[in-house]
């Protein structure tokens, strides 16, 4: 198992549930964490990624969405239909991750972490490459399908 304390996950789970409920009017449920590569996964079309470097954790947090989940969430968030992931629309995944990260950061820093402000980036399907590092997957389910928060620790 990667050396990430389970208490590190909880603020990300809570931030994710709240973000999707408030901003996308979607109730998500979360499943048991697992190590990436040990279970079948959906084909993700887009991911928001934040690199974290602090005194207690170095790695990256990703929000990975299938095309159906991403387009559905954007439709619910902005009240307009979308048929494809355009360059203009794709920053929506970064913004959702930014909201999740912002909430988690407050809780983690209260616990003694020293996580700094970070700007999320967007990766499309062809940029989502497998990594040698161990990655903990926090799976979520919604009426639109499955999505993941993935936590990769470099330390």
Partner 1 sequence: MFSPDTHVLVVDDMMTMRKLVTKSCKELGFTKITDAADGALAWAAIQEANPPIGLIISDWNMPNTSGLDLLKRVRADGRFGKIPFIMVTAEAEQHQIMEAVKSGVSNYVIKPFTADILKEKLEAVHKKISAA
Query: Where along the sequence are the contacts to partner 1 (CB under 8 A)?
Result: 18-19, 22-23, 74, 77-79, 88-89, 91-92, 94-95, 98-99, 101-103, 105-106, 109, 117, 119
Which residue's structure tokens are 């408030």? Answer: 22
The residue (of 6 and 119) whose beta carbon lies closer to partner 1 is 119
E-strand stretches of 43-144: 46-53, 58-65, 121-124, 135-142
Nearest-10 crossing angle of helices 10-23, 91-110: 140
The residue (of 115 and 135) whose beta carbon lies closer to partner 1 is 115
The residue (of 79 and 84) whose beta carbon lies closer to partner 1 is 79
Minimum CB distance to partner 1, residue 96 (Å): 9
Minimum CB distance to partner 1, residue 148 (Å): 19
**Token pair of 82 as six digits:** 């979308």
Residue 48 burial (10 A CB sphere; 0-12, 13-18, 19+): buried
The residue (of 123 and 135) whose beta carbon lies closer to partner 1 is 123
């Amino acid at each position: 198992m990667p050396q990430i304390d389970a208490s590190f996950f909880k603020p990300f789970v809570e931030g994710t549930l709240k973000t999707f409920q408030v901003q996308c009017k979607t109730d998500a449920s979360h499943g048991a964490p697992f190590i990436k590569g040990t279970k079948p996964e959906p084909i993700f079309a887009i991911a928001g990624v934040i690199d974290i470097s602090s005194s207690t954790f170095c790695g990256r947090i990703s929000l990975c969405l299938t095309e159906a989940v991403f387009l559905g969430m954007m439709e619910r968030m902005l009240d307009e239909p979308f048929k494809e992931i355009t360059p203009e629309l794709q920053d929506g995944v970064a913004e959702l991750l930014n909201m999740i990260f912002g909430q988690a950061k407050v809780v983690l820093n209260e616990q003694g972490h020293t996580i700094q402000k970070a700007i999320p980036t967007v990766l499309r399907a062809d940029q989502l490459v497998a990594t040698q590092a161990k990655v903990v997957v926090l799976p979520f389910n919604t009426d639109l399908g499955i999505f993941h928060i993935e936590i990769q620790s470099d330390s």
